[in-house]
Structure 1
Amino acid sequence: MKSKVVIGIVLLCSIFLFCLPEIKSKTSQEVETKFRDPLWRGESACIYDLVKDEMSIGLASFEISSGKLKNEKVYLIEGKIVMGGVSDISKITIRAKDLKPMKTEKNMLLPQGETKIEAEYFGNKVKLTAKTSQAPPQRMRLSLPEDAYDNEEILMLLRTLPFKVGLQMEFSNFSPAAGCTYPSVVRVLTEESVQTPAGTFECFKVELKVAMANITHYAWYTKDYPHYLVKYDNREIVFKLKEVLQDGEKVEF
């Protein structure tokens, strides 16, 4: 039973982690419409404890590095979740100037087998390839809204918000694992002190709502640049910052 719960959590994180519902009405809140190059310097990596019912059940990490691809400045975001004998590893390359996705590779290792998903972006179109250990590869091409971002980058993408209490951001969230796009809204709710294994941080609290499930998620980012993700709560598990690695240090777990 425990393994089934863990598998369900990983799939939730992979497919529906950041799928947000369309908000029909506007408010007086300040609305931003574009993400901008955060000018991340060097390399950074954060490791998180995964906590459920006050018990540690695994580890997660996000690594960011910068480089060039076809003479264009890019960022590489690498995410990793390991718990209960299963793993979810993703790599996504995004353009620095607008943080739009260029290519995503995702590998989920579950007891029933391995699943690999690749997404290649060409303007407002994406080519998806899914491979599993039980079936032949599946391929499809989809059209995306102009404001679409890849689900695998969202938690790091939100680090680039021009943080201010009351700020609201609207965009489309494309999930390669689900093959679906969801109109999305995030809001900066308040400022809070957050305690984690890495220490206590002054943070902005950001609200997220998951499409089709009526579930509210929250993320906390440091008030100071580079706005590290300190805590994330998706109502199944909680990510708590454990360690910030220095330039050149590699994530090992």
Structure 2
Amino acid sequence: MLWRASATALMVCIVSVLAIPMASAESPSELLEKGIYTEETVGDLAEAIRVYKQVVTEGKESRTAAAHAQYRIGLCYEKQGETKKATDAFQAVVDEYPTEKELVAQAKSHLPSELQLLPAPWGEGDELIFEMKLQTGLGVGMQVFRIAKSKLDERDVWECQNWQIVTINGQRGKSRVFADANTFAPIQSTWKHTMLGKASAEYRDGEVRIQLANKNEPVVLKSDGSWFDNEQAAEVFRRMPLEENYQTKIRVISSLGAAEIPIGLEVTKLESITVPAGTFECFQLKLEIGQTFWISNDEHRYIVRFEAGGVTADLTEIRNSQESIQTTVERERFSVKLPANWYAYTPNSPDQNDDPSTQIIDPNASMDARIEGGPLKKLQAKHGTVRQWLEASLAEYEKRISTFKIGGEGIQTVRVGDREGVSAVFEYVENNKAKKARRVAVFGDESAVNLRFTADADIFETLQPSCEQILANLNLK
């Protein structure tokens, strides 16, 4: 039975081998030394990077070793001529290992120098108006970038304002940033959005204090470098010394997110594009966060187009922000001159609706306002008189809104341009917020128009003088 005994001996041998403890895996420090040897002695940079990345991955065991490895990755990429990868690696040392002071200082020495901005290309100020579209060509909103010289506590500043309205979900946003007239460093900002909320930020030496609407205490972020507010970023792009293959990284503060966001940027090419405002040769500026801006290659450095989240915004109009401009709206059913600093947007569509709704945007984007028109004969056949039309509309509101309550004055006769119309004010609650609205209806010779003004109840009355001005300047066709 020799073969059986030999088999038993072999099995014992295998069990014995399995029972012997395996040699312990290399520690992060040992791997770091291995990477340095591979980089400096063997000269195999690709393999060294692989080893360093392993150290970074296992960084929970040794943050110091991981920081050194991350720094070494940057050095390897520099030797390979991979400038962007090297910059990203060194920036990661700064962002991920702030307590490793010596390494952070060394990493910063390899990063591009402090961003040098060009002189302001907008003169005294300008206003850029965009239409946002989906890939299908359907218009879904409007964006306005406005910058102008201003004063803040007797200090010379640039005032950056941004309006946005999205028609597919009814969202509106408005932001304002005051930036130093010389350095363009942010001083304070406000940002409110109907979906995301409200926030304000105060910038001081080395810190920013962010107050969110739903928080009692501010969020305080600290930094030993320069940063910009997210809502002035478009203007920062315009002042960059752009050229082909230009690369840099900036840090922006998102007040609504209460966070600092590092953003890498790169000019990928120079190309000519045509938008409603004209044809421009542009730098294509790609952001590593998935957005792209086209900046004109001329003395104005206009933002001509930007893309983000599947939406493309094209420049439709350029205006002088130093003038008090009153927008005149011309539509098939009506025309109206809006108060100064109000905007209007009517979405474009490949399958154009004969009577699309025109959105009206007030200076603070605080009111949901719109004008809608239709053929008079069609409305009269269904409702008879303008009063009956308004009564039917109010009845529909009452069916849909359980908290609906019409104002004590009921339906009143009002002047709309040179015509007589009817108006009613009502209240309701939406998302635990008291709302107040006004509905106005008027018949023309061939057209019927209704206007809707809705705002939070506590500010509704302050907006009524502007609403009256709109009604006085509305002409039906």
TM-score tier, shorter chain, comes to 0.7 to 0.9
Measure, in 2, the Cα distance between the counterparts of 1:25 and 1:145.
16
The residue that corresponds to 1:83 in the other structure is 166
Shift of 1:182: 2.3
Does residue 343 of structure 2 align to residue 252 of structure 1? Answer: yes
Residue 150 of structure 2 is matched in structure 1 by: 67
Give the match for residue 231 of structure 1.
Answer: 305
CA contact (8 A) 1:46 1:241 kept: yes
Structure 2 SS opposite 1:24: helix
Q: Deviations over 1:209-242 (max 9, x none)?
A: 11xxxxx321001111220100001132111101
1:56 to 128, 139, 161: 139
Aligned equivalent of 1:103, options 183, 188, 210: 188
Q: Which SS does the other structure have where 1:146 is aligned?
A: coil
Structure 1 residue 117, shift from structure 2 partner: 0.6
Give aligned-pair identity as a percent: 21
When you count helix as a share of all residues, which structure comes out higher? 2
Is residue 2:236 matched to residue 1:157?
yes
Q: 1:205 to 1:32 in 2, by over 3 A?
A: farther
- Whether the 8 Å contact between 1:193 and 1:201 is mirrored in structure 2 is yes
CA shift, 1:174, in A, is 1.6
Residue 188 (str. 1) matches residue 267 (str. 2): yes
1:205-220 alignment, distance < 5 Å: 205-210=284-289, 216-220=290-294
Partner of 1:16: none
Q: CA contact under 8 A between 1:37 and 1:160: conserved in structure 2?
A: yes
Secondary structure at the aligned position of 1:23 is classed as helix
Instruction: Tell me if structure 2 keeps the 8 A contact 1:45–1:251.
Output: no
Aligned to 2:251: 172
> Are 1:123 and 2:202 counterparts?
no
Deviations 1:144-198 (Å, cap 9, x if unpaired)?
3412111111111100011211111222122111111122221122111111121
Equivalences for 1:142-153 in 2 at 5 Å? 142-153=221-232
TM-score by length of 1: 0.79
Q: Is the CA contact 2:146–2:160 (under 8 Å) kept in the aligned structure 1?
A: yes
- 2:251, 2:224 → 1: CA distance? 7
Change (3 A) 1:192 1:161: same
Contact 1:33 1:169 in 2 (8 A): no
How far did residue 105 of structure 1 move? 0.5
> Could you tell me how far apart the structure 1 residues matched to 2:112 and 2:173 are?
33
Question: Comparing both chains, which one has the higher relative contact order based on Cα–Cα distances under 8 Å and sequence gaps of 6 or more?
Answer: 1
Q: Pick closer, same or farther for the CA change 1:220–1:153 going to 2, 3 Å.
A: same
- CA–CA distance in 2 between the matches of 1:251 and 1:92? 19
Letter in 2 for 1:208: L
1:51-74 deviations in Å (ceiling 9; x for gaps): 112211010100000123345431
For 1:23, which of 44, 68, 88 is the aligned residue? 88
Alignment CA distance shift 1:48-1:103 (3 Å) = same
Counterpart of 1:124, as a letter, is G
Q: Which residue of 2 aligns with 1:4?
A: none
Give runs of ≥4 in structure 1 deviating > 4 Å. Answer: none
Pairwise CA RMSD: 2.3
Determine if contact 1:37/1:97 at 8 Å carries over to the other structure: no
* Residues 239 and 32 (structure 1), Cα distance of their counterparts in 2 relative to 1, 3 Å cut: farther
C-alpha distance 202-239 of structure 1, shift in aligned 2 (>3 A) = same
> d(CA) in 2 for partners of 1:172 and 1:61?
23
Q: Equivalents in 1 of 2:272, 2:242: separation in Å? A: 16
Tell me the amino acid that sits aligned with residue 36 of structure 1: L
TM-score for both structures, normalised by structure 2: 0.43
User: What's the counterpart of residue 8 of structure 1?
Assistant: none
Whole-Å separation in 2 of the counterparts to 1:92 and 1:55: 31
Contact 1:103–1:120 (8 Å) recurs in 2: yes
Deviation of residue 80 (structure 1)?
0.8
Does residue 93 of the first structure (1) align with residue 170 of the second (2)?
Answer: no
Distance 1:145 1:51, change over 3 A: farther
Deviation at 1:31, TM superposition (A): 4.6
Gaps of 5+ in 2: 1-84, 92-110, 326-340, 345-477
More deviation in 174-183 or 47-56? 174-183
